[in-house]
Structure 1
Amino acid sequence: MKYAIKIHKISTVDELENSWNIEDYKELLERFDFPNAESTDIKELRELLFMAIADFETNEAAAIVLDYKLSDHLNEGQIDSISHEMLVDKISEEYPEIELHQQLFNINQLLYKAYNGKFPNTKATIVNFDITPKANADENITKEIALKCIAKSLDSHNVVIRLFGNQLNADEAFEEANDVIWELQKNDAGYRLITSEYFMSKEEFLKQEFEANIAFFEEE
């Protein structure tokens, strides 16, 4: 299948909008022994949470936030281990279960800001682009289609290209595309893709406008 791609803007951010809401902050305040926060101002609740977090050791705070967000995916031992590793490693980039990377990024950055930089600073990449199907190409743009097309414009040293060469070439199914790309949104201006800077950095883009021929894995 063939697609025409035009990249409009590539942004690097250290926080994703709307990754935490009022209910999140109130629940976390409860868990950090600051109950009954009555404010409905999200900025004020965030400031209160940062004050509450400061009374805890870094690994204790990490464990509390990890338990709140990821207790359905991680057991107590895993949470304890990650809560210590987060202080020295970019867990949101290195953790083997890619489907947890976005939540680990959000947790890491909350703690990074609460502790004024004691945790590693991780980044996300946002790409705004147009993608136009050519000939009989599928018009339903999935994460796999978007990632395979975008990969055509990336430097050969890019992590996605090195880790998922077989999947990009359609020698294997590319189920990981759904986790490598955290979000894919369609709007009036085109498409908006969000991923980790680890998987796709601004400096790795070689072309802003190009065509991509992609294929899909077919079981024999």
Structure 2
Amino acid sequence: MKYAIKINKISTVDDLENSWSIEDYKELLVRFDFANNNVNDIKELRDLLFMAISDKEPNEAAAIVLDYKLSKVLNEGQINSLSYEMLVDKISEEYPKIELHKTLFIINQLLYKAFNGKFPNTKATIVDFEITPARNADENITKEIALKCFAHNLDSHNVIKRLFADQLNAEEAFVEANDIIWYLEKNETGYRMTTSEYFMSKEEFLNEDFEAVIDFFEEE
């Protein structure tokens, strides 16, 4: 399948909008023994949470937030280990389970800002683009299609090209694509794709306009 892609904008951000809701902040404030039922403004709740977080030791605060977001998939020992590792390593980039990278990024950045930089700073890449399928190409743009197309436009040092060559070449199913790309949203002008800077940094994109021919893995 062949696609023509035009990149309109590439942004590097250290926060994802709407990652935390009013309900999230209120529940975390309860867990930090800092509940205030009289506050319903999201910015004010965030400020209160930052105060509550900063009253704890960094690893203790990390464990509380990790438990809130990931207790269904990580056990107590794993959470405890991560709470220390997050202080020295970019866990949202290095953790072996890619499906947790987005949540770990959101947690990391909350702690990074609450502690004024005591945690490593991690970043995300947002790409606004237009994509035009050639004749007979699938018009339903999935994360796999977008990722395989963009891989054609990334320099040779890119981590996706190094780690997932077989998947990009359709020699294996590319199930990881759904977790490498955090969001793929259709808008009035095209699409917006969000991923970790670890997987795609702004400096790795080669051209604003390009074409890509991609294939899909087929079971024998």
Q: Does 1:132 align with 2:132?
A: yes
Match of 2:97 in 1: 97
State the distance in 2 between where 1:7 and 1:36 align.
45
Mapped partners of 2:37, 2:116: distance in 1: 23
Shift of 1:40: 1.2
Aligned partner of 1:54 in structure 2 is 54
Cα displacement (A) at 1:39 = 1.0
Matched residue, 2:34: 34
Q: How does 1:165-204 map to 2 (within 5 A)?
A: 165-204=165-204
Residues 29 and 37 of structure 1 are in contact (CA less than 8 Å); yes or no, is this contact kept in structure 2?
A: no
Which residue is equivalent to 1:206? 206
Q: TM-score, normalised by structure 2?
A: 0.99
* Cα distance, 1:188 vs structure 2: 0.5
SS in 1 for 2:217: coil
Moved beyond 2 Å, runs of 4+: none
> 1:83, CA displacement in angstroms?
0.3
Q: What is the distance in 2 between the residues matched to 1:118 and 1:36?
A: 26
Query: In structure 2, how many angstroms separate the alpha carbons of the residues matched to 1:205 and 1:36?
Result: 46
Equivalent residue of 2:137, what SS? coil
Count of residues in Structure 1 that have an aligned counterpart in Structure 2 = 220
Following superposition of structure 1 onto structure 2, how do residues 6-85 of structure 1 map, counting pairs within 5 Å?
A: 6-85=6-85
Residue 135 of structure 1 aligns to a residue whose secondary structure is coil
Q: Please state whether the residue corresponding to 1:30 is helix, strand or coil.
A: helix
Q: Deviations over 1:25-72 (max 9, x none)?
A: 000000001123321111100000011111110000000000000111
**Letter paired with 2:138:** D
Q: Tell me how far apart the structure 2 counterparts of residues 98 and 17 of structure 1 sit (CA, whole Å).
A: 21
Deviations 1:75-94 (A, max 9, x none): 00000000000000000000
Unaligned runs of 5+ in 2: none
Q: SS where residue 193 of structure 1 aligns? A: strand
Unmatched 5+ stretches in structure 1: none
Give the deviation of 1:153 after TM superposition: 0.4
Paired amino acid for 1:74: L
Q: Is the 8 A contact 1:90 1:122 kept in 2?
A: yes
Percent of aligned pairs with the same amino acid: 78
Q: Alignment partner of 1:144: what SS?
A: helix
Instruction: Read off the aligned partner of 1:26 and give its amino acid letter.
Output: K
Q: What TM-score results when the alignment is normalised by the length of structure 1?
A: 0.99
**3-state DSSP of counterpart to 1:174:** coil
Q: Deviations over 1:142-171 (max 9, x none)?
A: 000000001110001000000000000001
